[in-house]
Amino acid sequence: MIYNQSDEILIRNLQEGDAQIITYEEIAQGWDEEGRLDKYFLRLKDQAEGRAIALAAEYQGNVAGYINIYPDSKWGAFAGLGYPEIVDFGVLEKYRRRGIGSRLMDAAEKIASNYADVVYLGVGLHSGYGSAQRMYVKRGYIPDGGGVWYKDKLCIPYEKCCNDDELVLYMSKQLC
Domains detected in the chain? 2-174 (3.40.630.30)
pTM for this predicted structure: 0.92
pLDDT in tens, 124-139: 999 989 999 999 999 9
pLDDT in tens, 48-67: 999 999 999 999 999 999 99
Q: What is the pLDDT of residue 35?
A: 61
Residues in the chain, overall count:
176
